[in-house]
Amino acid sequence: MNRTLLVLLGFLSMFALFILDMVLGSVSIPIEDVWAALKGGDTKKSWQYIVLNFRLPKALTAILCGAGISVAGLQMQTLFKNPLAGPSVLGISHGASLGVAVFVLASALFYQPMTGVHEMLGNWGLIIFAILGSMLVLMSVLLASLRLSDSISVLLVGLMFGFITGSIVSILQYFSDPELIQNFLVWTFGSMAGVAWTEMKVMAPVVTAGLILSLMFQKQMNALLLGEHYAAGVGVNVSRIRMALIVTTSILAGTLTAFTGPVAFIGIAVPHLTRLLLKTSDHKILIPGSMLTGAIILLSCDIISQLPGQQATLPINSITALFGAPVIIGIIMKNRRMKGAFA
Amino acid sequence: MEPLNGKSIAFNHRHLSRPILRTQDLSIGYETKNGPFILEEHLNIRIHNGELVCLIGPNGCGKSTLMRTIAGLQKPLRGTTYIEGKILKSLPPHKYARLISLVLTDKIQAGAFSVKDVVAIGRYPYINHFAKLRPYDCKIIDRSLEMVHLESYSDRHFSELSDGEKQRVMIAKALAQDTPLIMLDEPTAHLDLPNRVEIMNILKKLAINTNKAILLSTHELDLALQTADSIWLMKRGTAIRNGAPEDLVLTGAFEDVFACDAFDFDKSTGAFKVKHISKGSVALLGSGIPYLWTRRALERDGYKISEGTGHEVSVKIVGSNCWQIASGGFQDNCKSIAMLLAHLRHLDYYKTKKAD
């Protein structure tokens, strides 16, 4: 079957990009040495250190983030029945930023520089605040959307919530010291490189749990596409699934945003690209499909942002936007209007 | 028992009738700030298996509210609905979905579903979280599509279908849900005549062959009179009347509900006739089908038809393409009914001008 071939091709290219992401960078490391470093074989000590402690967690982060943000976007598009919904559009990333800002600034007030056990606790605190921040915004947007009938209004409301949280973050910045602001600004550019093994130990299980959880909602999400009455008619508890989708989206988008910064456009563009490639709206195929496509695309964006052979690194957001924005423009132009864009 | 396979039912089960749906002292309406707004109260209605029931009534009489209340999508003001003896309210969602299936008027936008994907959603109350279809589910999906004559459409994209085909897919979805009661909210709305007839035919056959109870709301009086086993007639401010369509015609219930200045209910044909402004009488001579259609045209334009002579205006059908019109010694031939009507309007115009 054509689709099986596509999936196989997808897995192969993901694996190839995963290796390539570890080969390329400011220092190019030959593929045999990357392989040797991964297997614990014989290679240069410095290369081994770079591969195991920088490039491997970075590539893994790109996969988790690509898969997670894409699924979060897909869930929001189905939840809001809105083809342009996504973590960066509806203010969910902003909500996570607010959580992160509050946590970072608050912990700077109460703790001395964190080390060891504190660092571990700090990571969990970061995640929890980011999740709570995203959930707060997502719930508010959902409540507003229940009173609004057209999708444009919902997007605008989401955008406004984004501005509100954004301005609160700016106000918080005004009262904090310059070094923290510098860190915060760098964080907002988005980067896969900020996740070391200590962070990975926290991020990977949470994101994996979110991804597995998202696979449980295929039925309900398909039914929701027919409208809430049809969904209720086939035994879906509509308010419960709405809540479940909000929680899952917040866990995925919140956690990932906390560690990689807000990654723009992946959440909107990848589900559309997947629909286009696999020619279906069936979530049984779309959910795993979006994970795979998202991982592939974010790995590619990460490789490009490293500017192979150069010392400088571009912010990953500029690359994802360069890729994502044209996809979205294309989708809107193709369908002439937004309502049809689920096709 | 294989409830979906009509062919395996060797004899008509309909004499073994049992109530599928029963309401007890049901009141429907809305809660408003000024207290409850009641549309109908003390409803004690039943639908039996194998029965096709049509819910009919003018716009705004509460048809949709009744449908939604029975389906459990809206809370009743009072009273209880029983499905197969179980209280509807008390059922958890997945059990409810095994008893009632719905076909709604909601527009479906999700375009990249295949026809099979949509029908498969009907199997959701029966399958696990990972939406894994078992061979048995696939068999039911195929049979459901067969019953609405869409067996060759299974891999087509839903968005590419016509409105009539989409409606049939939604009926197949309801069939795949394999419930004793199927409820359809205006399933023939927005469809052209052949599609409306086809949908009603399919539903009628389903009621007979699958022994399911089918309740639908409709504006199609003609079709309802011809197909329904039973009709529920709704009117604002009066209790619902139900019975066989013919009984409701004979007791005058139809006329009562749809009484209106612009229409007459013709008991002899069971159809509504538009009341026209009267323009005076015309003598019409002729026979056969041309006579019938000429008569209809004249009536449509407001003329009364009489067959005697001595009228101011008379029309004689002389051939297949020739209508002779005579008025006050003046005579002319028309080649078509349109010309004839134009001529008559001309005469009327001069008549009124003279009178001025």
Q: What is the pLDDT of residues A162-188, one digit of tens each?
A: 888 888 888 887 777 777 777 777 777
Residue of B nearest to A83 (CA): B110
* In the predicted structure, residue A247 carries a pLDDT above the cut 50: yes
pLDDT score at A111: 56
Rounded-to-integer distance, Cα A46 and Cα A51, Å: 9
Rounded-to-integer distance, Cα B178 and Cα B313, Å: 64
CB A323 within 8 A of CB A273: no
Inspect the interface and report whether the beta carbons of A235 and B97 lie closer than 8 Å.
Answer: yes
In whole angstroms, what is the distance from residue A157 CA to residue A144 CA? 7
Question: B114: which chain A residues are within 8 Å (Cβ-Cβ)?
Answer: 280, 282
Band of pLDDT at residue B53, cut at 50, 70 and 90 = very high
A343: which chain B residues are within 8 Å (Cβ-Cβ)?
Answer: 110-112, 157, 159
How many alpha carbons lie under 13 Å from residue B26 in its C-beta half-sphere? Answer: 28
What fold characterizes domain A59-342? ABC transporter involved in vitamin B12 uptake, BtuC (1.10.3470)
Retrieve residue B24's tokens: 């007890």
- Paired sense of beta strands B52-56 and B230-235, if any: parallel
What dihedral do alpha carbons A44, A46, A48, A49 form, nearest 10°? 160
Question: Distance (Å) from the C-alpha of residue B94 to the closest C-alpha of chain A?
Answer: 4
Q: Which of B95, B118, B129 is closest, CB to CB, to A219?
A: B129
- Binding-site residues on chain B for chain A (CB distance < 8 A): 71, 73, 93-98, 100-102, 104, 106-114, 117-118, 121-122, 124-125, 127, 129-131, 157, 159, 177
Q: Which of B31-35, B94-98, B110-114 has the lowest mean pLDDT?
A: B110-114
Using CB atoms within 10 Å of the CB of residue A149, give its burial: 0 to 12 exposed, 13 to 18 middle, 19+ buried.
Answer: exposed
Sorted by sequence, the CB contacts under 8 Å of residue B154 that are 6+ apart come out as B114, B115, B116, B119, B141, B142, B145
pLDDT in tens, A54-73: 889 999 999 999 999 999 99
Q: Which of B215, B217, B214 is nearest to B188 (CA)?
A: B217
User: What ranges do the domains of chain A cover?
Assistant: 59-342
DSSP A339: G
Question: What single letter denotes the amino acid at residue B340?
Answer: L
CA separation for the pair A107, A86 (Å, rounded): 30
Query: From A282, which residue of chain B is nearest by alpha-carbon distance?
Result: B113
| DSSP strand pairing (B46-48 vs B19-32) | antiparallel
Instruction: Flag the least confident range among A42-51, A197-206, B127-136, B307-316.
Output: B307-316
Give CA–CA dist B85/A287, Å, rounded. 40
**With 50 as the cut, is the pLDDT of residue B12 above it?**
no
The most confident of A78-92, B4-18, B100-114, B210-224, by mean pLDDT? B210-224
Q: Mean pLDDT highest for which of A154-158, B58-62, B100-104?
A: B100-104
**Winning range, highest mean pLDDT, from A3-17, A130-144, B25-39:** A3-17
Task: Tell me what pLDDT residue A335 has.
Answer: 67
Whether residue A23 contacts residue A162, with contact meaning beta carbons closer than 8 Å, is answered with no
Chain B interface disruption, residue of A281, A290, A335, A342, most B CBs within 10 A? A281
Integer Cα distance of A83 and A106 in angstroms: 37
pLDDT at B309: 65
| Cα A71 to Cα A81: distance, rounded to the nearest angstrom | 15
For residue A173, what pLDDT is reported? 78
State yes or no: pLDDT of B233 exceeds 50.
Answer: yes
The three-state secondary structure class of A122 is helix
Residue B356 pLDDT greater than 80, yes or no: no
* 3-state SS record for B201-237: HHHHHHHHHHCCEEEEEECCHHHHHHHCCEEEEEECC
Residues 6+ apart with CB under 8 A from A186: none
pLDDT band at B6 (very low <50, low <70, confident <90, very high): very low
Give the C-alpha separation, A77 to A328, whole Å. 13
> DSSP of A11-27, one letter per residue?
HHHHHHHHHHHHH-SSS
Chain A to chain B, count of Cβ pairs less than 8 Å apart?
95
- What pLDDT, on a 0 to 100 scale, did the predictor assign at position B110? 62
For the entire predicted model, the pTM comes to: 0.82
Residue B175, exposed/middle/buried by CB under 10 A (0-12, 13-18, 19+)? buried
pLDDT above 60 (res A51): yes
- DSSP 8-class letter at A237: -
Confidence of residue B261 (pLDDT cuts 50, 70, 90): low
Q: Amino acid identity of B241?
A: R
- Please tell me what DSSP assigns to residue A190: -
Query: Which residues from A are below 8 Å from B when comparing CB atoms?
Result: 81, 215-216, 218-219, 222-223, 225-227, 229-230, 232-237, 275, 279-284, 339-340, 342-343
- Give the 3-state secondary structure of residue A45: helix
Find the mean pLDDT for residues B112-133.
89
Strand order in the sheet with B181-185: B100-103, B181-185, B213-218, B52-56, B230-235, B238-243
Nearest residue in chain B measured CA to CA from A240: B93
Q: What is the DSSP letter of A53?
A: I
Instruction: Give me the mean pLDDT over the B80-109 stretch.
Output: 87
Residues in chain A: 343
pLDDT at B307 over 80: no
The lowest-confidence range among A119-128, A202-211, B62-71 is A119-128
CA dist B324 and B21 (Å) reads 61
Average pLDDT for residues B205-229, to the nearest whole number? Answer: 89
Residue of B nearest to A239 (CA): B93
Q: Which domains does chain B have, with CATH numbers?
A: 2-99+179-266 (3.40.50.300), 280-355 (3.40.50)
C-beta atoms of A340 and B111 within 8 A: yes
Query: Which residues in chain A are closer than 8 Å to B110, comparing Cβ atoms?
Result: 225-226, 281, 342-343
Report which residue type is found at A196. A
Closest CA to B173 of B121, B215, B133: B121
